[in-house]
Amino acid sequence: MDGKFLDNDIEKVVDADRAHVWHHLIQHAPWTGPDPKADPRIIVEGKGMRVWDQKGKEHLDAVSGGVWTVNVGYGREEIANAVRDQLIQLPYFAGSTGSIPGAMFSEKLISKMPGLSRVYFTNSGSEANEKAFKMVRQIAHKRYGGKKHKILYRERDYHGTTIGALSAGGQDERNAQYGPFAPGFVRVPHCLEYRAQWDLSGEEYGKRAADAIEEVILAEGPDTVGALCLEPVTAGGGVICPPEGYWPRVQEICRKYDILLHIDEVVCGVGRTGTHWFGYQHYGVEPDFVTMAKGVASGYAAIACCVTNERVFEMFSDDADDPMNYFRDISTFGGCTAGPAAALANMEIIEREGLLENTTRMGDYMLDQLHALMDKHEVIGDVRGKGLFLGAELVSDRTSKEPVAEKAVGAVVADCNAQGVIIGATNRSLPGFNNTLCYSPALIATKDDIDEIITATDNALTKVFG
C-alpha cells in the first residue's frame, strides 16, 4: 500500500460502508446491529495478483476479483491510460452510432472468433444473455409465427441475475424466492460425470448426456425450440468440464432440429481456459451466439458483448421497408467508450505477454497440485477444470460422495483468507451441493503464486478436516 489512506480516513470509509452500502451476495448481519462482530471488508488497492484490505493486510487473490474477472491482474496503467485518453476524447454516445474503440475492438475480437462476425455491446453478462434471448424470440416471431421461441438451458448453469436470465437459471438455490419466472425456458440435465445420471463413463457418458438434450427437444416439439444456451465449462454450478463426446453430439442435435446454439462465455471468455481465447474453441463448436463479460476488460471498465454470426445478423436485415425489421433494442451504457478502449488494451496485453500460453502451463501445473492434494486429503472427492479455472469438490465419503456441510466449506475459505489467500466456493447455487472450492487466479499467475494457493488450501483442509 502507498499509505494514501490515514487510519482516521479509512475508519470513516468503513463506517460509511457499514451504514449505506448494500453489498452483493453476502449477509450483512455480522457487521450491522448495535453490537457488530466484524467490519465489512473494503479492498483498498491491488497490484498484480495481490490486493490489500482496509487494515493493510495483503492477500493473494486466487479468484481474480472474487468472481473470475481481473484476468490480467491489478494495476495495469496501460489499460487505465487507454480509458483516460478515450474518456477525454469522447466518453459516450448512444450505440445507434459507432465509436472508434467500439469498431477497433470489434475487429480485433472477431479476428479471434472464426465464424462469427457481429458484436452487440452491453454492460453486464446478464444483459448480454438477455440480448441473445431477445434475438431468439424476435427470430421466432419473424420466421416461425412465434412458435419456435423456447430456450433450453442446463441444470447447474447460470446465465445472470435478471428475471429473464434467472428464468434460464439451472441453480435452484440461486433462483429460490425470485419467481415467478418468464415462460418459454426449459431445463435439460447437467453433464457432470462425477454426479452421474447414467451408468456410463467417458465418451459414452458425454454422448448420453447430450442425447438427454435431444429427449427434451422431442418432448417439447422441435418446432417450438429456438435455442440452446450452455456454459462451455460450467462455473458457479461446480466447475464442470463436459465429458468427451458431449459437444460434437450437442452440435449435431442443434443442426438436426435447426436450433441456435448460444454459448455463455461470461466466465470462460478471453483467455480464462488457456490456449484458446474462448472455452468453446477447445471443443470445435460452431456457435450462433457467444456472450461474454467479466474478463473482456478485466474489470477495468464495464463491458459485455453478445456476438453473433452473420446468419443471425441477416435474419434482422432481410426487409429494409419493414420498420419493425431490426433488433429494436438498446443498452444505454453499451455506448460507453471506456469499455471497448479497456477491452482492446486488455487483449493486447494478453497477446504481448503470452497469457493464453501461461494460463495453459500454470493451469496444468495447478491441476497437478490439486490432484496431489487429493492424494493427501480424503475429503477431496474430485478435481476438475480447464486452464486457470479449477475446482475441488469436497465430500465426507468418497464412495457415497456425500457432500461435506456447507459450513465446513466456508471454514476452508475463511482459513485460507486468514492465511492471506482469497479462494472461492460455490454458494447459494444447488441445494445441498455448495461443496466445491473454486480457483481462478489471474492469467499472469506464476508457479510461486500457485504454490502459495495450494499450501494455504492444504493447511486449511488439515485444520478443518484433520
Ligand X SMILES: Cc1ncc(COP(=O)(O)O)c(C=O)c1O
Asked if residue 231 binds ligand X (CB under 6 A), the reply is yes
**CA–centroid distance for 356 within its chain:** 17
Asked if residue 292 binds ligand X (CB under 6 A), the reply is no
Residue (124 or 251) nearer to ligand X, CB: 124
Tell me the three cell numbers of residue 160.
445472470
Name the H helices within 316-426: 338-352, 355-376, 406-418
| Pairing between β-strand 58-61 and β-strand 289-292 as defined by DSSP bridges | unpaired
Q: Is 253 helix (H, G, I), strand (E, B) or coil?
A: helix
Asked if residue 175 binds ligand X (CB under 6 A), the reply is no
**Selection from 155, 422, 105, 62 nearest residue 270 by Cα:** 105
In the set 74, 158, 246, 389, which binds ligand X (CB under 6 A)?
158
Nearest distance, CB of residue 307 and ligand X, angstroms: 14
Asked if residue 229 binds ligand X (CB under 6 A), the reply is no
Residue 330, C-beta contacts closer than 8 angstroms, at least 6 positions apart: 94, 95, 96
Tell me the three cell numbers of residue 50.
495481490
Residue (208 or 294) nearer to ligand X, CB: 294
Integer Cα distance of 224 and 150 in angstroms: 6
Residue (5 or 153) nearer to ligand X, CB: 153
Integer Cα distance of 254 and 250 in angstroms: 6
Asked if residue 296 binds ligand X (CB under 6 A), the reply is no
Nearest distance, CB of residue 69 and ligand X, angstroms: 9
The DSSP secondary-structure symbol of 122 reads: E
In the set 61, 193, 214, 264, which binds ligand X (CB under 6 A)?
264
- Residue 450 phi/psi, 5° resolution? -65, -40
Nearest distance, CB of residue 114 and ligand X, angstroms: 22
In the set 161, 275, 325, 455, which binds ligand X (CB under 6 A)?
161
Tell me the three cell numbers of residue 450.
500457485
In the set 116, 136, 233, 266, which binds ligand X (CB under 6 A)?
266
Integer Cα distance of 389 and 375 in angstroms: 20
324 CB-contact burial (10 Å; exposed 0-12 / middle 13-18 / buried 19+)? exposed
Integer Cα distance of 255 and 462 in angstroms: 49
Stretch that binds ligand X, among 88-96, 144-152, 159-167, 357-365 (CB under 6 A): 159-167
In the set 67, 152, 347, 350, which binds ligand X (CB under 6 A)?
67
Residues 306-365 that bind ligand X (CB under 6 A): none
- Residue 393 and residue 238 in contact, taking contact as beta carbons nearer than 8 Å: yes
Nearest distance, CB of residue 84 and ligand X, angstroms: 24
Residues 98-137 that bind ligand X (CB under 6 A): 124-126, 129
Tell me the three cell numbers of residue 327.
433488433
143 CB-contact burial (10 Å; exposed 0-12 / middle 13-18 / buried 19+)? middle
| Side chain identity at residue 283, one-letter code | Y
Nearest distance, CB of residue 368 and ligand X, angstroms: 26
Residue (287 or 456) nearer to ligand X, CB: 287
In the complex, residue closest to ligand X by CB? 125
Nearest distance, CB of residue 235 and ligand X, angstroms: 5
Nearest distance, CB of residue 127 and ligand X, angstroms: 7
Stretch that binds ligand X, among 4-12, 101-109, 264-272, 339-347 (CB under 6 A): 264-272
- Residue 391 and residue 438 in contact, taking contact as beta carbons nearer than 8 Å: yes
Residue (361 or 428) nearer to ligand X, CB: 428
Residue (329 or 458) nearer to ligand X, CB: 329
Integer Cα distance of 209 and 196 in angstroms: 9
Asked if residue 293 binds ligand X (CB under 6 A), the reply is yes
Nearest distance, CB of residue 305 and ligand X, angstroms: 11
Asked if the peptide bond before residue 183 counts as cis, ω within 30 degrees of 0, the response is no
Nearest distance, CB of residue 269 and ligand X, angstroms: 9
Residue (303 or 373) nearer to ligand X, CB: 303
Interface residues with ligand X (CB under 6 A) are 67, 124-126, 129, 158-161, 231, 235-236, 264, 266-267, 293
